Amino acid sequence: MKIDIFNTHEELSQKAKEIIVHEIVKKRNLLLCAATGGSPKYTYDLLGQEFQNRPELFAQLRIIKLDEWGGIPMNYKGTCESYLQDHIIQPLQISESRYFGFNSNPVDPPKECELIQDKLNQQDSIDLCILGLGMNGHLAFNEPAEFLQPHCHIAKLSTMSLSHPMTSEMNLKPTYGMTLGMADILRSKMILILINGGKKRAIVGKFLSKQITS
């Protein structure tokens, strides 16, 4: 694990953008797993700026959604879908055939998880997975629990996750989450965890303690 520490969110985001672009140059049809939230937002904005100068670089890029709030419409403000459409899918002109992810309001949530797992299994592995670190240590919606799920699954959301800033924009609140599992995430050829803000200091300390817990 390589740790880089930056003075500002902008410096962190610039470095992350450079890493992502470097990997896309090496593999034009790279499969990028995209997280949502405040930490990666400016990185995505910088990728959008890069697209304006080098649109051909992103012509084969593939994207999978990391996780999603459950029980709310796809176009609802605050869904991971709305976030990704606004910050990466539309700015990089990712076609429908090069993007897949959970439906936020499926008729059959377990079946939706099976569908996304099947689509993921049809790919090579994830080339580059972008993660944030939750205030309680969760990665995607893999919440602290007695044990962790390996593959796509329905997640019981913690109180802390339900108080995430993204849900503050919602009048209709999510009742569950859907997420890639830890085995799928750890199979990624590269994982980039972006952590920003002084409020994360305590959980970062636990993360760097090298103790393996859920």
Query: Looking at the predicted structure, is the pLDDT value of residue 213 above 90?
Result: no
| CATH number corresponding to 9-207 | 3.40.50.1360
> How far is it, in rounded angstroms, from Cα 34 to Cα 188?
12
CA angle 85, 126, 78 (to 5 degrees): 25
Give me 150's structure tokens.
């390996």
Distance CA 56, CA 194 (A): 26
The pTM score is 0.93
Q: If pLDDT is split at 50, 70 and 90, which confidence band does 168 have? A: low
The CA R_g of the chain, rounded to the nearest whole Å, is 16
- So which residues are the catalytic ones? 67, 136, 138, 143
In the sheet where 176-179 sits, what is the strand order? 67-70, 176-179, 153-155
pLDDT tens-digit map of 171-194? 788 889 999 999 999 999 999 999
Residue pLDDT, tens place only, 69-82: 999 999 888 899 99
Structure tokens at 132: 């944030």
pLDDT in tens, 8-45: 999 999 999 999 999 999 999 999 999 999 999 999 99
Q: By the 8 A CB rule, do 155 and 66 touch?
A: no
Q: What is the DSSP string of 3-39?
A: ----SSHHHHHHHHHHHHHHHHHH-TT-EEEE--SHH
Tokens matching residue 73: 């419409």
Backbone angles phi, psi at 129, to 5 degrees: -110, 120
Half-sphere exposure of 8 (CA within 13 A, CB side): 4
SS3 199: helix
- The 3-state DSSP class for residue 95 equals coil
